[in-house]
């Protein structure tokens, strides 16, 4: 659905993105993850036809975003980071305007449908300038999905929302994932792991990693980690733990706790518990340690 | 074209919610009424010719203020991103914006139709120069608003757009005077460039295609440049 090849954009001497290539299959939700200023917005602006790349090509829904820009734009719904709203217009008036710009057939019915879906019916006649941030974001989303685009591009869709609104918007995006191919950018990591099928980590204008959130986590921590704490810190505990089959390392974590590193895919929790209990040591805690996306992210972007 | 109409429609309704537009309209009508009254009082002539000539001076300031928001505000608030990523061509955006400003200028002129009405009640005006005078002031409005659209495309700041616009309109209004210093061969050229030369014919009741072509070509040139300026944002 989306193919980007060697996208590069420079502003004068400053390189915003360099040689960014990726593909998105139909129905996929791809997350662009990266610190602020990494080039997420620039990449999205190229895909939406807002500006052309300095080098490289991109196709959306089969159309070149530069040479067949108008055609490509018909298939894209875009929510920019600053939601493009006219504060003096009412919600219904604004969506009607966008509907006209997009030549939507049967505009009234579609407008009502979208407003219902985003729970905006009660706000229809309120000037956008008087809406809360959460509602504005919804109006922005409504604007993006109005013409049933095949591709949705959402730049930081949950920024500035309160936690309840964030959960709402995320579940909405997951829901939309069934009908649209979605690219969303975020610098909030749990968001990427909750919403996206695949994550692309961008740093300083370049792609540094690309995979599913789960595999990315597994690959980077180099194995499963299990935290074990035993009362009284008996002697010989580390040795006993490293003696277990499949365990590749043991690291002391203080307070008598240890992290046991096992080979990837092997769940050695039962064996660890048995080893400890069979020696009569009081087992206080035993839990798997997931390396969070935060840690991966920091690792990737600081290396 | 349909997209330009959609954009113009939205823009025109935005004028009616903007306090600036109301203030400018009120100010314009007060000054126009004042001119109408005093010119009539002293000349005792049933004509609008002097009124139109005086209104041009006001229009040099009014037009850039009417057009300052058109593209500058879209660029400041980021709504330009909506327009430029919709399946709409850049020239349609520019044309729609300008057309809305021109439509609002027509709305502002509506109350002044009272003046010819009064003239016909109490006198016997010559209608042809009045009609050509209106044609002239509408066309001149179109030209000045097109120049204002251009300066509005150049910046995100409405005030900068207005000041640049006023500077540009005054320059084009007065450039004929440069002919006086340039010697006889160039004088005709500067005279032709000046907006004012082409206006006075119309208020006298003379419709010369040369003048109409001049106005239309300035409008097209200014809107073309505004489109190029808008496009250039994509390349930066």
A67 touches chain B (CB under 8 A): no
B194 phi/psi in degrees, rounded to 5: -70, 140
Judged against a pLDDT cut of 90, whether residue A48 lies above it is answered with yes
Shortest Cα–Cα distance, B14 to chain A (Å): 7
Judged against a pLDDT cut of 80, whether residue A225 lies above it is answered with no
**pLDDT (tens digit per residue) in B109-127:** 999 999 999 988 988 888 8
Half-sphere exposure of A262 (CA within 13 A, CB side): 23
Between A85, A86, A100, which is nearest B6 by CB? A100
Shortest Cα–Cα distance, A182 to chain B (Å): 16
A126 phi/psi in degrees, rounded to 5: -90, 135
* Contact across the interface for A50 and B234, Cβ inside 8 Å: yes
A52 touches chain B (CB under 8 A): yes
**pLDDT (tens digit per residue) in B174-202:** 887 776 776 677 777 777 778 887 888 88
Selection from A257-266, B98-107, B182-191, B202-211 with the highest mean pLDDT: B98-107
- Both tokens of A181, joined, read 């191919």
Q: How far is the CA of B147 from the CAs of A273, B15, B217, in angstroms?
A: 81, 18, 12
Tokens 């734009």 correspond to what residue?
A73
The DSSP letter of residue A119 is T
* Strand arrangement of the beta sheet that strand A55-60 belongs to: A14-24, A2-11, A55-60, A63-64
* Strand arrangement of the beta sheet that strand A224-230 belongs to: A247-254, A257-262, A224-230, A283-289
Q: Are B100 and B12 in contact (CB under 8 A)?
A: yes
* Three-point CA angle A222, A225, A227, nearest 5°: 160
Tokens 């209004």 correspond to what residue?
B173
Judged against a pLDDT cut of 90, whether residue A94 lies above it is answered with yes
Nearest residue of B to residue A66 by CA position? B234
Nearest residue of B to residue A99 by CA position? B6
Residues of chain B positioned with their CB less than 8 A from the CB of A51:
233-236
Q: What is the ipTM of this complex?
A: 0.89
Integer Cα distance of A105 and B172 in angstroms:
46
Tokens 């590069």 correspond to what residue?
A8
Mean pLDDT along residues A207-228: 72
Residue closest to A152 by CA, chosen among A134, A169, A128: A169
Between A48, A52, A101, which is nearest B6 by CB? A101
A82 touches chain B (CB under 8 A): yes
Query: Of chain A residues 2-41, which have a CB less than 8 A from chain B?
Result: 11
> pTM (2 decimals)?
0.84
Between B7, B85, B235, which is nearest A78 by CB? B85
Residue closest to A198 by CA, chosen among A23, A3, A2: A23
């Amino acid at each position: 659905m989306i193919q980007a090849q060697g996208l590069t954009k420079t502003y004068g001497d400053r390189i915003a993105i360099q040689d960014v290539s990726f593909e998105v299959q139909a129905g996929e939700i791809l997350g662009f993850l990266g610190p602020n200023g990494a080039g997420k917005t620039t990449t999205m602006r190229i895909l939406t036809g807002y500006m052309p790349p300095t080098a490289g090509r991109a196709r959306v829904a089969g159309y070149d975003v530069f040479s067949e820009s108008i055609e490509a734009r018909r298939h894209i719904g875009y929510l920019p980071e600053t939601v493009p709203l006219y504060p003096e217009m009412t919600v219904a008036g604004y969506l009607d305007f966008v509907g006209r710009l997009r030549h939507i057939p049967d505009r009234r019915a579609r407008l009502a449908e979208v407003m219902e879906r985003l729970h905006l019916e009660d706000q229809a006649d309120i000037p956008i300038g008087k809406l809360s941030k959460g509602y504005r974001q919804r109006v922005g989303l409504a604007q993006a999905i109005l013409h049933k685009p095949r591709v949705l591009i959402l730049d930081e869709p949950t920024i500035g929302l309160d936690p309840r609104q964030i959960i709402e918007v995320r579940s909405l995006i997951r829901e939309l994932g069934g009908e649209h191919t979605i690219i969303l950018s975020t610098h909030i990591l749990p968001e990427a792991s909750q919403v996206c099928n695949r994550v692309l980590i961008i740093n300083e204008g370049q792609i540094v990693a690309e995979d599913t959130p789960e595999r990315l986590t597994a690959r980077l921590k180099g194995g499963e980690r299990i935290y074990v704490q035993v009362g009284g810190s008996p002697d010989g505990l580390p040795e006993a733990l490293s003696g277990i089959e499949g365990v590749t390392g043991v690291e002391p974590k203080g307070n008598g706790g240890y992290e046991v590193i096992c080979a990837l895919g092997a769940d050695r929790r039962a064996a660890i518990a048995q080893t400890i209990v069979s020696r009569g040591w009081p087992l206080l805690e035993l839990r798997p340690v997931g390396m969070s996306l935060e840690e991966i992210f920091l690792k990737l972007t600081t290396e | 074209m349909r997209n330009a109409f959609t954009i113009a429609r939205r823009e025109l309704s935005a004028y009616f919610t903007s306090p600036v537009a109301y203030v400018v309209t009120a100010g314009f009508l007060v000054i126009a009424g004042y001119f109408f009254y005093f010119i009539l009082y002293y000349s005792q002539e049933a004509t609008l010719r002097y009124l139109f000539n005086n209104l041009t001076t006001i229009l040099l300031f009014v037009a850039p203020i009417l057009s300052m928001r058109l593209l500058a505000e879209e660029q400041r608030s980021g709504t330009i991103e909506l327009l430029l990523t919709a399946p709409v061509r850049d020239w349609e955006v520019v044309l729609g914006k300008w057309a809305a400003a021109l439509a609002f200028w027509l709305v502002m002129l509506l109350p002044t139709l009272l003046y010819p009405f009064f003239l016909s009640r109490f006198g016997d005006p010559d209608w042809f120069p009045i009609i050509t005078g209106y044609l002239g002031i509408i066309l001149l409005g179109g030209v000045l608003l097109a120049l204002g659209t251009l300066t509005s495309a150049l910046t995100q700041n409405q005030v900068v757009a207005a000041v640049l616009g006023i500077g540009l309109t005054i320059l084009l209004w007065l450039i004929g005077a440069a002919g006086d210093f340039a010697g006889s061969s160039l004088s005709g050229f500067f005279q032709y460039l000046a907006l004012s030369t082409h206006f006075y014919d119309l208020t006298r009741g003379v419709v010369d295609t040369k003048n109409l072509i001049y106005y239309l070509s300035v409008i097209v040139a200014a809107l073309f440049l505004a489109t190029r300026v808008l496009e250039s944002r994509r390349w930066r």
